[in-house]
Chains A and B, each alone.
Chain A
C-alpha cells in the first residue's frame, strides 16, 4: 500500500515532464516530414529562446502574459470550472489600462501605475464575473459562455479603440498613445527586450494564488467547491458565490496582461496584440496540473517555445513559427490523454488514492 503510494507520487511528478517531452518530440518529429533535421530544429528553437541575453529577454517577455493567463485558467480549475475566456478577459483588461493611460495623463507616479493596474484587473474581473454569474445563478455552461464572451470582447474592444480612443499619429488599428508617465522602464540586463516590472508582478501573482490556496480559508473554500460541490454546500459554503468568485478572480488575473502589454511594451492598445495568450494559458495550466508555482515553469516553457520558434522562419527552409501551434497542440493532447492513461494505470494497480483535482466538464 505504502509502496504503491510512493510510486504514485513519482508518477505524479513525472507526468507533466513526460507529457511535455512527448508533445515537444512529436511536434519536432513532424519537421522530418518537411525535410528538416529534427535535431537541428530543436537546436534552433533552443538557441532562439536562450541564445543571448536579448533572446532570453524576449522569452521572458512572452512568458509574462502566459503566467497570468495560466493563472486565469488554473484558479477556476481549482474550483471545478474551465475558463476558456482568458483571451477576452485580457483584451478587456488591456483596454482599461490603455483608457486610463490615455484619459488620465495628470495622475502622478506611482499612483498612475497602480490606478492603471487596478483598472486592468477590474476590467478583466468584470468580464470574468459575467460567465461566473451565469454559471452560478443561471446554470449556463461556463465553457460556452466564455467562448462567446471572447468574441464579444474582441468586437467591443475593437470598436472602443477605433471609435473612442483613436490613434492620432498612425493609420494602424490601434489606440492613441498612453501618457509617457505610464510607461514601465525596461530592465537593462536584456538589451532592448521589453522586460519590465510586469514579470515580477506576474510571478508575485502566482505566489499570491499559491498562498491563497495553500494557507487561507477563502482558498480552501474554492478548493472544496471544486472537489465536491455537494459536500461544500452541505458544510455551509455557498457554492454559487465560490463559482462566481473563481471566474471573477481568474478574469482579473488575465486582465493584468494589459499591464505587461500596454504599459510594458507598446504604450497603446494594438488590436490583435495577443498571439492567443489566453488559449496558451490552457496547456500551461493543465501541464502544471493547475499548481500556481508549477505553472510559472510551464509558462517559461511555452514562452521559450513562442520565442524559439520565431527563429525558424529565418534559420530553416521549410519550417516556420507556426510549428509552435503544433507543438502546443501535441502537449495539450498528451496532457489530455494522460488523464486516461492515469485512469488505466489506476485500474491496473487497483490502488485507491485521492482523486486528483480534475477539470470537470
Chain B
C-alpha cells in the first residue's frame, strides 16, 4: 500500500510538470492584463521544438531552451497582434492555436518526412527530474516576485489599474510585453517537458488540451501562484489515478467510467466560475487594451 502511494505521488508530480509550467505562464500574462487562451498552442510548439533540438544536438538542456524559445516566438506574434495592433485577444489566441497546430506537422514533414511523431529520443538524452524541479520552484518564485518585489507590484498594477501605472510613469506596454514573453517561455518549457521528460518523442497533438487544463487550474487557483499549484497537483492526481486504474471503484456507486474522471477538472472549473464555491475573480483590466 505504502509503495503504491509513493508510486502515485511520483506519477502525480511528473504529470503535474507541464501543467504547472503552463499555468504559471498563464498566470504571469493574465495578472498583467492579457488573456492567455494561447497556452495550448505554445505548449504544442514547445514540445515539438524541444524534441527537434534534442534530436539534433543530443542535449535536453538545449532542447528545453529550444522549447522555450519556440514559446517566446509564438508569444511575440501574439503580442504584436494584441498590443500594438489591439486585436481582440480571444480571436488572436484562437489564430495562434490554429497556427501552432499546423506548424509541427509542416516542419516534421520537411525534417523527417513524417507528419506525426518525431523519431524517438534516446533515454540518455532525456530529462530524469529537472523539469519537475523547475515546475515546483516556479510557483514559489512567482509567489515571491508577485508579493514581495517592485516588478511584481508593477505587474499587478498593469492588470488591475493600468492608468495608475501609466500615471506613475511606467510603460504598461513594456510590463505586459515582459509578462507575455515570460509566459511564452514558461508555456514552451511546459511543452518541452511533455516531449523530452514525460515521453520519448513528440507525437501529434501531444499537448491534447493541457494548455486549457492549465487555464482551468489558473481559474480554480484564483490567479494566485500557490492555490494554482494545488489545483495543478489535484488535476494531476486525477490523471494519475485514471491512468492506473482505468476507472475508479467507489463504494455504493460501482465503477466510475474513465471519461468521468477526465472531465472532472473542467466540471470543477465551471462550478467555481459559476460562483457556487467561492467566487473566482479575474484581474480587473483583463482583456482590455490600453
Contact = CB atoms under 8 A, between A and B. Distances in A.
28 contacts: A34-B106, A35-B110, A140-B270, A140-B273, A140-B275, A144-B219, A148-B267, A148-B269, A151-B262, A155-B260, A159-B257, A159-B260, A163-B257, A279-B94, A322-B101, A322-B106, A322-B109, A323-B102, A325-B99, A326-B106, A328-B98, A336-B87, A336-B91, A339-B86, A339-B87, A358-B88, A361-B89, A361-B287
B263 A155 contact: yes
A141 B89 CA distance: 14
Given A144-B269, A159-B260, A323-B106, A361 B35 contact: yes
Interface residues of B, number: 46
Overall SS of chain B's interface: helix
A337 B85 contact: yes
Interface string B33-53: 001010000000000000000
B262 A155 contact: yes
Contacts of A325: 98-99, 101-102
A151 B212 contact: yes
B267 to A, nearest CB: 6
Interface in B128-183: none
B91 A332 contact: yes
B95 A333 contact: yes
Interface residues of A, number: 51
B132 to A, nearest CB: 25
Contact of B87 (A33, A158, A337): A337
Contacts, number: 151
A256 interface: no
Given A320-B115, A325-B102, A332 B37 contact: no
Given A330-B95, A341-B85, 6 more contacts: A34-B110, A134-B270, A279-B94, A320-B105, A339-B86, A340-B81
B215 interface: yes
B103 interface: yes
B87 to A, nearest CB: 4
A326 B103 contact: yes
Given A34-B109, A144-B219, A320-B115, A139 B275 contact: yes
Nearest to B258: A159
A336 B38 CA distance: 14
A139 B276 CA distance: 12
A219 to B, nearest CB: 24
Contacts of A159: 257, 259-260
A144 B101 CA distance: 20
